[in-house]
């Protein structure tokens, strides 16, 4: 389908319900997100390295006693936008309580958002999403780079409302620690 054809089918204002309908109809597994500025992004499905990193982090949380209801992959979260809610789909979210079934979850009980950098999304993950998540008041944002060490940058929300870097370390090192050490 051409961009022109897609544009003719789009509603004048895209909502999270519209994004859900698009994802449901997408036979290729793309993820649809809406930035806090109202822009719609379409991302391809994650590659195997990306999925492996997410799985390693999930197993790490599970081994530390976190339930499958609290550590979720690729679930949508509602972030403030100009026309109501916008929505992002982080690679991993960690919650203090199990969440109700849904595509776009409220930020209540959200402890941590993890984004695994995909080729071509570096600027969005490192700048745009970091700013959006900070404005939304999400306490912790971890960014996993796809360098040789799979460096994890652990951001913590400062009193100023912006993220500060708590630490940076290779994923292999992070996985030798306890999650509680980083979620104080």
pLDDT per position as a tens digit, 45-71: 889 999 999 999 999 999 999 999 999
* CATH code, 142: 3.90.1570.10
User: What is the spatial distance between Cα 91 and Cα 117, in angstroms, rounded to a whole number?
Assistant: 9
| Domain annotation covers residue 6 | no
The number of folded domains in the chain is 1
User: What is the spatial distance between Cα 83 and Cα 19, in angstroms, rounded to a whole number?
Assistant: 14
| Domain annotation covers residue 61 | yes
Q: What is the pLDDT of residue 175?
A: 98
| Average pLDDT of the residues of the chain | 90
Range of the domain at 84: 46-182
Q: What is the pLDDT of residue 118?
A: 87
Q: What is the pLDDT of residue 131?
A: 94
Q: Which residues of 122-158 are buried (b: 16+ CB within 10 A; e: fewer)?
A: eebbeebbbebbbebebbbbbbbbbeeebbbbbbbbe
User: What is the spatial distance between Cα 112 and Cα 177, in angstroms, rounded to a whole number?
Assistant: 16
| Domain annotation covers residue 87 | yes
| Domain annotation covers residue 8 | no
State the pLDDT confidence band at 101, using cuts at 50, 70 and 90: very high
| Domain annotation covers residue 119 | yes
Instruction: Specify the length of the chain in residues.
Output: 184
* Strand-pair category, 71-73 with 92-95: antiparallel
Residue 66 makes CB contacts below 8 A (sequence gap 6+) with 94, 179
Is the pLDDT reported for residue 40 higher than 80?
yes
State the pLDDT confidence band at 7, using cuts at 50, 70 and 90: low
pLDDT per position as a tens digit, 115-158: 999 887 888 888 999 999 999 999 999 999 999 999 999 999 99
| Domain annotation covers residue 110 | yes
Q: What is the pLDDT of residue 9?
A: 67
């Amino acid at each position: 389908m051409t961009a022109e054809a897609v544009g003719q089918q789009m509603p004048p204002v895209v909502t999270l319900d519209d994004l859900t309908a698009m994802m449901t109809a997408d036979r290729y597994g793309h993820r649809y997100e809406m930035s806090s500025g109202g822009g719609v992004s379409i991302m391809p499905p994650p590659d195997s390295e990306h999925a492996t990193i997410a799985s390693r982090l999930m197993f790490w949380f599970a081994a530390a006693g976190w339930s499958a209801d609290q550590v979720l992959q690729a679930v949508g979260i509602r972030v403030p936008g100009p026309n109501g809610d916008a929505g992002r789909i982080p690679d991993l979210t960690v919650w203090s309580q199990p969440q109700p079934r849904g595509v776009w979850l409220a930020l209540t009980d959200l402890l941590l958002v993890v984004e695994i950098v995909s080729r071509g999304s570096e600027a969005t993950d490192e700048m745009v999403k970091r700013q959006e998540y900070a404005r939304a008041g999400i306490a912790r944002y971890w960014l996993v780079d796809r360098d040789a060490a799979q460096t994890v940058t652990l951001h913590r929300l400062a009193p100023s409302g912006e993220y500060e870097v708590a630490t940076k370390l290779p994923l292999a090192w992070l996985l030798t620690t306890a999650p509680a050490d980083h979620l104080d």
